[in-house]
Structure 1
Amino acid sequence: MANIVIGTAGHIDHGKTTLIKALTGIETDTTSEEKKRGMSINLGFAYLDLPDEKRVGIVDVPGHEKFIKNMVAGLPGINLVLLVIDAAEGIMPQTKEHIDILSLLGIRDFLIVLTKVDTVDPELKELVVEDIREQLSETPLAQADLVETDAITGTGIQELLNKIQKHAEEATERSNSGAARLNVDRVFSVKGFGTVVTGTLLDGEIQIGEDLYLYPSQKKTRVRNIQVHETDVSSAQPGQRTALNLANISVDEIQRGDVLTTSEKLADTWMLDVKVTCLPEVINGIGLWDRVRLLVGTREVMARIVPLGVDWIAPGEEGFLQLRLEEQVAVKDRDRFILRAYSPMQTIAGGEVLDAAPHKHRRFKVEILESLKAKEDGSLDELINDFMTNKKQPFTKLKELAEYLGTDQDELKPVLSEMITEGRILETKTGYLAQTSYQKLCDQGTEILTAYHKQYRLRIGMPVEEFRSRLRSSLTEKEIATYLHLMKNEKIKEKNDRVALIDFEVTFNQYQKTAQEKIEAALAKSGYTPIKKEDLISLDKNAEEVLEALNGETVIFLTHEYVLLKALFDQAIELVRKQIVENSQMTLGDFRDLTDSSRKSSMLILEYMDKQEMTKRVENYRVLGKFLNR
């Protein structure tokens, strides 16, 4: 059976705390102020042993309108809500606001608990039940079970326990893959132990001794001890109410609203792209630059509204917003939130985070709206494609994708395989690459090389290192290597450490052809004696650019200064190969005799062969290198 956490909701004095005490024997009003005022101010916590002895957590949230933010802070991670309604009073204003908040937060599992039934006339009770059903008919609670209880006399308590048991059995087990995450809802110090925090573990698993990172401060701490329902455990699982004893951090360095996670990559953000639903009773709707209170996780921050694609969001309507925050928050895509008006403080909207770390948008940009729509209701393959297309770095690892989507890697693999087959993404050793992202990279590379070819029409291509440096601002070295491998033979060609577009060819006019003839004739006449570049350039006014174009084609630059005819160099290779095969080795003197050249010329040629790994120098002789030893 899944780990579940139960929350209570309802108007002040409708009996939430008394009901929990009847169910659990635990008093959740713990502070003297709460006892004095007779209301829950802060979150209260308890645990409940079900009939099958499964233990579940309970969060008792305050009902008074002044403590709505405390109420919302208790809801992340809630599986089942008990909507508590006094049999004598029925649905009250705070009941209605709680229902709105719960619906906006995406909670769909409810039990309606009618309290104090033994204190009212049966006919009045039936009228109240009828009114409850009518008022809830258009809400997610329309089909919820209703249990009549009285915490003082014990009426209905066993039936309620049985209903909770049934919900617990039907709850879906949360995946414990990915980075653990806990929104802190309480912080206190225990003598002899130090700092303790509590919260519902939303994602992943936490173990004793594990390092955690606190956001937004990004301080590092370590888990000294873990308790679940007041019992020491070695690890906490997603969905459990959890208390963590932390090392290397004081109570002054952590507060409600902070986030603890095993990930170092949870980003703090000043903006959120969201999908919202505006409540029907909000007369003025939601407009540009409205100042609102954002309640997300266990945090409250002020924010400004920027509608996307529309001028405003009308009452009862849905739409996209960018929230510009006055403080940083650390949330994830798909987290739910509530918006309350700055003044008077009333709930106006709520919804889901679609992008937890967006850029600032222009309000009516079509591409942004399409991306948000894909994130809102897209299938898994559309979400994958949207993430991979819009992220800053084009290559995506499987682990990164699973963490972003909150999905098991095994669930993603068949979807990725299908997308590869369809040609929508590419799989490389560096990671997955969306076809659209690959096309953007191709366009970038093509643009760079097109400009280079236009400027240097007689060069066979751009030096590889220069090309890599132009890409380095957006890609890592490993990604550049993968990118070049993908583009080679399809978009680009590489020769002699130069890169060119696949269809680029050097063409000479009549004057340049004349210069070519002069250069090649001089080199042929010189034989195995290399000629200085400056001497070749002096042969013709077009010789410099022509010589550059001939590099690797009909001439070889042994160094930046000395040039040899390529046909003679190829002959020299064959002479060397034959000499070493027959004699196992070759000296500088042997090569000089074979080519009838000077010592200096022989040294220039052989050192170039060494550099190209055609030969390998061992002491004062040479053997075949890896490119000739085949």
Structure 2
Amino acid sequence: MADIVIGTAGHIDHGKTTLIKGLTGIETDTTKEEKTRGLSINLGFAYLDLPNKQRVGIVDVPGHEKFIKNMVAGLPGIDLILLVIDAAEGIMPQTKEHIDILSLLGIQHFMIVLTKCQTVDEDLKELVKEDIREQLADTALKDAPLIETDAVEKIGLDELKLAIQDLAETIPEKTVQEVGRLNVDRVFSVKGFGTVITGTLIDGTFRVGDELTVFPSGKKTKIRTIQVHETDKKEAFSGQRTALNLTNISKDEISRGDVLTNGAALEATWMLDAKVSCLEDVKFGFSLWDRVRVLIGTQEVFARLVPIGQERIEAGEEGFVQLRLEEQLAVKTGDRFIMRAYSPMVTIGGGQILDAVPSKHRRFKQDVLDSLKVKEEGNLDHLILDFLLNQQAIVGSLKDICDYMNLPKETVQGMLETLLEEKLLIQLSETEWIHVNKLQQIEKMIYQELETYHKAFRLRPGMPLEEIRSKVKQFLTPKQLDKLVKLFVEQGVFQLNNHRLSHSDFKVELNKYQEKVKNDIEKKLEKSGFTPIKKEELEALDAKNGRDVLEMLEDQSVVSLTFEYVISKKYYLKSVDLVKDFIQKNGAMTLADFRDMTDSSRKSSMLILEYLDEKKVTKRVENTRELMEG
């Protein structure tokens, strides 16, 4: 059975607080000012035990126009709304604004509670009920059950509890997620315990001992104890009204509007991408740079509106916007919010976040609009593709995708495998994925780099991989590049020889002068045998072509021992065989042993042996060399 939270809504003095006290016995007006003025200013909290023993949380939100932001603060995490209407007054202006807010916030489950029924005669009550149905005919409450009550006279309360119980059984269980998230709505200090906060756990799970991050400040704290409905618990789950006793943080370091999480999926942001709706009965629409009040979670911040893809969003219309915030927020994609005018403070619309940490957009760029439309549609496969395509990195990690989607690892892996079968993604490793369009981008980038290289160095067999790594290091790690190069070679896009990459159709073609230089170099190295030759000596054989031809021959018939000396590859391989045979027979070899075997100088022998050490054929042990293991 789902843990649910019930909220109240309705015009001032229509009996919300009295109704809750009648249902629960709990007084939710707790401050002296609230009791004196007879109206709710802050959020009030209670819990109700249903006939089937299920305990549900109740949030009593204020109804007065001045306290709308407190009302909105109580709505995140609420599953069922009791719209409270006085039988003597019917629907009032504040009732209508509450209905607008509830609709904009995506609340789906409603009950209409007619209060103070014993204070009116039957005919008036029936007229009020008829008017309610007529005014709500085009709203989400058109089919909501209506329960008649009088909390003072204890009439209708049992029927209301049964109706709540029946509706609660239809509300699905919330998705279980490891990462918990809570919007702080109250902060206070308890003598002997320290800082206590309350809020509805809107995602995941919190456990005693969890380390929490406070957003947007980034401060760290730990959970000492947890209470759910005044009962100590070891853990709290999504959907539960929760009180947390926190350690290592003072009351002054955390405030209403902050967000607590025990994971790394949140990030403070100065901008939000959103789909918004402008209410039909407002006197003005949304224009560029309009200053608005954004009510999200338990926080109110000011923001500037930037319509995307259109000049204005008129009354009754929907559209995409980017909100440029005046304070940082920490929210998630999918969160809903309300917008109120800067002045006068009236509700003008609301919306849903499509990207919680966007970059700044150009207003009429088509790919920006396409991306926002994908996010609006909410198709999970398309959202993954959109994330991988539009993130800055070429390769996306499984963790980043899970954090962005706010879904468990197992669920995301299943979707990734489906996209892989549809050839929309490429899997680089167990935890690394790349969009096929990004793959094409990096292929094109490497192709262009090679094209430039081939034109500049026509006799070189390809660009060294190390040089390519330096060109793409801001996009790819060396391991990621190696995996992509392997994939490209398997696909026949490029060819790789001796750690040099080239176009698949690239060939080194020598003219007759270059062919002569090639033969001269190889003959000179062959004649030199185990004695390395300086590169400049070989390059001098032909001032025009010598350097290019020598570079071409490296790793083919020539081996560079140092930046200065080269040797014939034939004699280098002979050196390897001689060294291995000698050491296998004798256990070790000295520089003098190698010099005698090759009839070369000490300097030549040292150049070759140090290169063998570098290539891990041998290792130096004091004044001898041994073979490297394996």
1:609 aligns with 2:612: yes
1-structure distance, mates of 2:485, 2:393: 16
Match of 2:195 in 1: 195
Q: Is residue 8–residue 16 contact of structure 2 (8 Å, CA) maintained in 1?
A: yes
**Corresponding residue number in structure 1 for 2:471:** 470
Alignment of 1:576-615 (within 5 A): 576-577=579-580, 579=582, 588-615=591-618
Alignment of 1:459-498 (within 5 A): 459-490=460-491, 491-498=493-500
Say which of 562, 565, 568 aligns to 1:565.
568
> Any conservation in 2 of the 1:183–1:260 contact (CA below 8 Å)?
yes
Hey, what does 2:558 align to over in structure 1? 555
Work out whether residues 428 and 484 of structure 2, in 8 Å CA contact, stay in contact via their aligned partners in 1.
no
| Residue in structure 2 matched with residue 26 of structure 1 by the alignment | 26
Partner of 2:71: 71
- 1:541-552, aligned counterparts within 5 Å? 541=543, 542-552=545-555
User: Counterpart of 1:515?
Assistant: 517
Give the letter for the 1:453 counterpart. H
Q: Structure 1 residue 435 and structure 2 residue 433: aligned?
A: no
Distance 2:486 2:628 in 1: 25
Which segment is superposed worse, 473-482 or 194-203? 473-482
DSSP-derived class of the 1:466 partner: helix
Query: Distance between the aligned counterparts of 2:191 and 2:312, measured in 1?
Result: 53
Deviation of residue 192 (structure 1)? 1.5
| Structure 2 runs not aligned, ≥5 long | none
| Counterpart residue identity of residue 354, structure 2 | L
Other structure's SS at 2:270 match = strand
Shift of 1:585: 5.9
- Tell whether the 8 Å contact from 2:265 to 2:404 is kept in structure 1 after alignment: no
What is the TM-score normalised by the length of structure 2? 0.95
- Give the aligned partner of residue 342 of structure 2: 342
Question: Shift of residue 90 of structure 1?
Answer: 0.8
Q: Deviations over 1:105-133 (max 9, x none)?
A: 00010011011111111111111111111
Shift in Å at residue 477 of structure 1?
4.5
Shift in Å, 1:359 = 0.8
Matches within 5 A, 1:382-531: 382-429=382-429, 430-490=431-491, 491-531=493-533
Code of the aligned partner of 2:516: T
Q: Which amino acid aligns with 1:221?
A: T
SS at 1:559 equivalent: coil
* Partner residue, 2:153: 153
CA-to-partner distance for each residue in 1:218-272, whole Å, 9 max, x for gaps? 1111111111111111111111001111111111121111111112452111111
Partner of 1:82: 82
Distance in 2 separating the partners of 1:89 and 1:450: 79
Q: Answer yes or no: is the 8 Å Cα contact 1:178–1:406 preserved in 2.
A: no
Structure 2 residue aligned with 1:271:
271
> 1:15 corresponds to which residue?
15
Shift of 1:489: 4.2
Deviates more, 1:383-392 or 1:139-148: 383-392
Q: Hey, what's the Cα distance between the residues in 2 that align with 1:497 and 1:432?
A: 25
Does the CA contact (< 8 Å) of 1:179 and 1:403 recur in 2? no
AA at the equivalent of 1:614: V
Deviates more, 1:314-323 or 1:391-400: 391-400
| Shift in Å, 1:48 | 0.7
Residues 338 and 350 in structure 2, CA contact (< 8 A), matched pair in contact too = yes
Aligned-pair identity in percent equals 59
For residue 469 of structure 2, what is the amino acid of its counterpart? R
Deviation at 1:589, TM superposition (A): 4.7
| Counterpart position of 2:260 | 260
In structure 2, the residue matched to 1:229 is 229
Q: Distance in 2 between matches of 1:171 and 1:355?
A: 27
C-alpha spacing 1:239/1:478, structure 2 compared with 1 (3 Å) = farther
C-alpha displacement at 1:579, in angstroms? 5.0
Moved more, 453-462 or 590-599: 590-599
CA shift at 1:401, angstroms?
2.0
CA distance in 1 between counterparts of 2:335 and 2:200 reads: 14
State the alpha-carbon separation in 1 of the partners of residues 533 and 322 from structure 2.
Answer: 67
8 A contact 2:428–2:480 mirrored in 1: no
| 435-444 or 208-217, which deviates more | 435-444
Which residue is 2:300 aligned to?
Answer: 300
**Aligned-residue RMSD, C-alpha:** 2.0
Query: Residue 178 of structure 1 contacts residue 403 of structure 1 at CA under 8 Å; is this kept in 2?
Result: no
One-letter amino acid matched to 2:506: F
Q: Aligned equivalents of 1:571 and 1:489: distance in 2?
A: 33
Q: Which residue of 1 aligns with 2:105?
A: 105
Contact map agreement 2:265 2:403 (CA 8 A) in 1 = no
Which residue of the partner structure matches residue 50 of structure 2? 50
- 2:7 and 2:61 in contact (8 A); partners too: yes
Helix, strand or coil for the counterpart of 1:197?
A: strand
Shift of the alpha carbon at 1:563? 1.0
Label 1:140 to 1:288 Cα distance change in 2 as closer, same or farther (>3 A). Answer: same
CA pair 252-51 structure 1, distance change in 2 beyond 3 A: same
Q: Report the count of equivalent residues.
A: 627
* Mean Cα deviation higher: 234-243 or 420-429: 420-429
CA displacement at 1:405 relative to structure 2: 1.4
Structure 1 residues 624 and 526, CA gap change in structure 2 (3 angstroms) = same
Q: The residue matched to 1:428 in structure 2 has which SS?
A: strand
3-state SS of the aligned residue for 2:551? helix
Does 1:309 pair with 2:320? Answer: no
For each residue in 1:194-213, what CA deviation from the matched residue of structure 2 results, as whole angstroms up to 9, or x when unmatched?
11111100111111111111
Question: Is the contact made by 1:182 and 1:259 (CA closer than 8 Å) also made in structure 2?
Answer: yes
| CA displacement, residues 558-589 of structure 1 (integer Å, 9 cap, x when unaligned) | 11111112233234444445555666665545
Q: Look up the equivalent residue of 1:547 and give its one-letter code.
A: L
Is the Cα–Cα contact under 8 Å of residues 307 and 320 in structure 2 kept in the other structure? yes
